[in-house]
Amino acid sequence: VWTEPILHVDMDSFFVEVERLDDPTLTGKTVAVGGPGPRGVIASASYEARRFGVRSAQATSTARRMCPELVVIPPRHERYSEISARVFSVFRSFTPLVEGLSLDEAFLDVSGLRKHYESPVEVGEAVRTRLRTDLGLPASVGVASVKFLAKLASEVAKPDGLRHVRKEDQLAFLHALPASSLWGVGPATLAALSRLGVERVGDVASMPETTLVAAVGPTVGRHLHDLARGHDPRVVVPDIDVKSVSVEETYDQDLLGREVVETALLAHAQRLSGRLRRAGLRARTVTLKVKYPDFTLATRSHTLAAAVDGSRQLYQAALELARGLDVGAQPVRLLGLGGGSLEPADTPTQLEIGHEVEWDKVEDAVAEVRQKFGDRAVGPARLLTGREHPGSSQEP
Ligand SMILES: [Mg+2]
């Protein structure tokens, strides 16, 4: 089990970098996005401009005084939203457990990717590489045991870096930071803390909870007491509720005959298994959807004794459902296979009697190859030849 499964990914000067995507001549220059008028405010500053003291939330007039060469670009929020959607689909291609904080930052819980990557750091680097190569955008990543530490780590990693805070080092990392870095510490709390002589998070940590409560009230006091010890019970809450995962295909030519349909179901089971595994999820219910040439639709669901993510188990369930519908008796236009009642793959399950551990290993190896080379890289011989080769995947 990974001890630091939480990633905080934060795009570097996002608005500026989007402007640079659309106008590469801005690269390397002192650029800021903000209102250019007399009452304008800077929304995002390039790192080149930050060297002159330009900051976001600064009046544009101040920024221009600090950096006379500053190129100020009026914001184009629609464009940033458009690119933000692409950024988030990169995040979600790694895990569905993505919690957005704004257009350009999110928490990712990557604990489900243990079988596909060596470490959460490797996941973080893969996310950064994808953002760079697919979208042309730099991002920084913090990797830690809990959310607020991951966020502090990405701050330290900036620009264009990754910071891994190991669990055994997290208190040393945290205690050296200024007290203002603790989540929820605003100016009033900070003033109250500095009256107590608090400068660093370490000072907060060494203070009795009663003293903190007396100084800043019970809610904030207890919150700070916990945070200063690295405690943060909040989990990553995905923006999109993941209720089911499914694969579906409408065929150019209607499928006819039981064997043809079963071969198609095998392909579906493999794709569904790949999706579940990449998401770190298992399905407790399996649903088969069949559409006929006259557009009538039939669906059947089955609840399993234990949640599964393996293609063979999914295929077995699909076969039973298909036989219940007597597919093969008439042509099939569309086939869908879905997994519902999802649970994290980490949930301990009792090994079923007769459960073959060896087969699990094969499936894990297959999942790994797919993760690297795509869904179609490996599969049973039956799918490769298009002829009937039931092979081991059909054994009960
Ligand atoms: Mg950012």
What does pLDDT average to in each consecutive run of 10 residues of the chain (396 residues)? 96 97 96 90 96 94 96 93 91 89 93 91 98 97 96 96 97 95 84 92 94 90 92 81 78 90 94 83 91 89 90 94 86 92 64 46 59 54 43 31
Give the predicted TM-score (pTM) of the model.
Answer: 0.64
d(CA 13, CA 41): 15
Peptide bond into 187 cis (omega under 30): no
**Distances 155 to 52, 135, 166, 199 between C-alpha atoms, Å:** 19, 21, 16, 19
Please give the DSSP secondary-structure letter assigned to residue 134. Answer: I
Residue 301 CB partners (closer than 8 Å, separation 6+): 285, 286, 287, 288, 321, 340
Structure token pair of residue 256? 């006819």
Q: What pLDDT does residue 393 have?
A: 33
CB 49 within 8 A of CB 31: yes
d(CA 212, CA 191): 13
Q: Which among 323, 195, 216, 307 is positioned nearest to 259, based on CA atoms? A: 323
Query: H helices within 23-146, ranges in order?
Result: 47-50, 60-66, 77-94, 120-130
**What residues have their beta carbon closer than 5 A to ion ligand 1?**
10-11, 104
Give the Å distance between the CA of 140 and the centre of ligand 1.
8
Q: What pLDDT does residue 305 have?
A: 87
Q: Per 3-state DSSP, what percentage of the chain is helix, strand, and coil (rounded to 5)?
A: 45, 20, 35
d(CA 207, CA 189): 15
Structure token pair of residue 170? 């997290």
Give the Å distance between the CA of 118 and the centre of ligand 1.
27
CB 257 within 8 A of CB 251: no
Give the Å distance between the CA of 216 and the centre of ligand 1.
30
Give the Å distance between the CA of 106 and the centre of ligand 1.
10
Q: What pLDDT does residue 210 have?
A: 94
* H-run or E-run covering 149: helix 147-157
Give the Å distance between the CA of 80 and the centre of ligand 1.
12
Residues with active-site annotation: 105
Give the Å distance between the CA of 150 and the centre of ligand 1.
14
Handedness of CA 236, 237, 240, 242 (dihedral sign): positive
Cβ of 24: how many Cβ atoms within 10 Å?
10
Residue 253 CB partners (closer than 8 Å, separation 6+): none
Give the Å distance between the CA of 77 and the centre of ligand 1.
15
Helix axes 311-325, 258-279, angle to 10 degrees: 140
Give me the sheet containing 281-291, strands edge to edge.
244-255, 332-344, 281-291, 297-308
* H-run or E-run covering 51: none
Give the Å distance between the CA of 154 and the centre of ligand 1.
10
d(CA 163, CA 153): 6
Give the Å distance between the CA of 191 and the centre of ligand 1.
27
